[in-house]
Structure 1
Amino acid sequence: MTTALKLVIFDVDGTLVDSQGDIVAAMAHAFDRAGHPAPAREATLGIVGLSLDAAFPRLAPELPAEMHGAMVEWYKEAYVELRSRAGAAASSPLYPYALETLTALHAQPETLLGVATGKSRRGLDKLFEAHDLGRFFVTSQVADHHPSKPHPAMLRAALAETGVEAHDAVMIGDTTYDRDMALAAGVPFIGVSWGYHDADDLTGAAAILRDFRELPEVLTTIREAAA
């Protein structure tokens, strides 16, 4: 009997890599250019995962839409500059055991890997190049082509590209946006404890990872329960 393909989809910032330093600095730069007080660090990290055009209205709802648009561009400029100084690998380091876990999952013939991120295509490609990650993923969904999380469009596109049914996929992320996107798409959700949202807020998750090395066993448990 042929084993059905399974799709494991990862968020990026706060799940695979820790880019909070550059995110906070770039956000502070954008608010400085706007002449507006920067949000607290916790508030900035709280919107990670949203597309930038959705993030700025949340952080500064009192500012006009045209200013939000300008701040998006100022943020991007600052982020690119910060990344170029340190290099993407140092700017956004992988979390412990992320690479080893991706390597192990990629070696399973029945397991496909994907990404669903609020990053731009350019930003994701730079990160993939820096960490040599592109070889792992058969589908990668980015903010350029979809509504912001938690809209399920990214996951629906990943499922369509791979031909995998929603119940045979899983979404792994660190934020309530990832969770809500997964639930809206009918995809089981696994939370991680090391990201930018409090793990206690990730209610409805099939599991919460405390260490990347737990993932293969958690996936097996979820698959057996669904069989």
Structure 2
Amino acid sequence: MSNTPLRLVIFDVDGTLVDSQGDILAAMKLAFDGEGLQVPPRSDVLGVVGLSLDELMVILAPDAEAATRARLVQGYKDAYMTLRADPSRGQSSPFYPGAREVLAQLQAQPDTLLGVATGKSKRGLDKLIEAHALEGVFVTQQVADFHPSKPHPAMLHEALRETGVEARDAVMIGDTSFDMEMAAAAGITGIGVGWGYHPAERLGAARHHVAQFDEVPPLLATIWKD
């Protein structure tokens, strides 16, 4: 029996595992068009990816009334699901290069558990897992429906509780400042990625940085070196 403690690798989803910006930008346009509002610039939308929808609509539509923002949230959710179901748009939210291979490599390690902590809804995450045949990969799945928005550490606290893993034996891998600040608040090592929606200068709370997916396994080995 191994004396190695259980390790937990928690991934953000949008901008980390999958490139969902096409779906996000298109759904946001449909939501804002539906309310007759000016669509926010691409950079503004991608800059708030990772926050819960309620939180990000306050930033993207600061002058809108609460009822309007609530309709924007629902309009975005409905548009996103409709877009993902449209076969004419090709593969929705494709994996970043190397993502699937690294997930398989880590899942094969007997002392390593995988999880996600995402601003997506449970419905959105379920659809993505189904689309990419990821059933059974993530033993803990933390979504926006049940927690305060990132960077509040509630998602990570619950992931640790569900798996029984200590904070020192967990990492959070993400592409945004919200992910890295959440990790720091939970006492978990944050690993910022270089291919997502926030530039490197916004990932100041990260303890480590990787430029491509195949750098993740050797970095984890270094972090957890006995």
- What TM-score do you get using the length of structure 1 for normalisation? 0.96
Q: More deviation in 84-93 or 36-45?
A: 84-93
| Structure 1 spans left out of the alignment, 5+ residues | none
Q: How does 1:50-89 map to 2 (within 5 A)?
A: 50-86=51-87
Distance change >3 Å, CA 89–CA 221, structure 1 → 2: farther
Identical counterparts, % of pairs: 60
Aligned to 2:209: 208
Alignment RMSD:
1.4
- Distance apart, 1:95 and its partner CA: 0.5
Q: Distance in 2 between matches of 1:35 and 1:88?
A: 25
Distance change >3 Å, CA 147–CA 89, structure 1 → 2: farther
Aligned to 2:46: 45
* Post-superposition CA distance 1:146-192 (Å, at most 9, x none): 11111100000000000001111000000000011101111000011
Aligned to 2:35: 34
Kindly provide the amino acid, as one letter, of the partner of residue 150 in structure 2. K
Distance change >3 Å, CA 213–CA 99, structure 1 → 2: same
- Distance apart, 1:88 and its partner CA: 9.5
Q: How does 1:116-127 map to 2 (within 5 A)?
A: 116-127=117-128
Q: Distance in 1 between matches of 2:208 and 2:28?
A: 31
- Distance apart, 1:206 and its partner CA: 2.1
- Distance apart, 1:42 and its partner CA: 0.4
Q: Distance in 2 between matches of 1:5 and 1:19?
A: 31
| Structure 2 spans left out of the alignment, 5+ residues | none
Aligned to 1:193: 194
Kindly provide the amino acid, as one letter, of the partner of residue 63 in structure 1. A
Tell me if the contact between 1:115 and 1:139 (Cα under 8 Å) persists in the aligned partners. Answer: yes
Structure 1 residue runs of 4+, over 6 Å off?
none
Q: Distance in 1 between matches of 2:88 and 2:210?
A: 28
Number of residues of Structure 1 aligned to a counterpart in Structure 2 = 225
Kindly provide the amino acid, as one letter, of the partner of residue 63 in structure 2. E
- Give the number of the structure whose residues are more often helix, by fraction: 1
Q: How does 1:1-227 map to 2 (within 5 A)?
A: 2-86=3-87, 90-224=91-225, 227=226
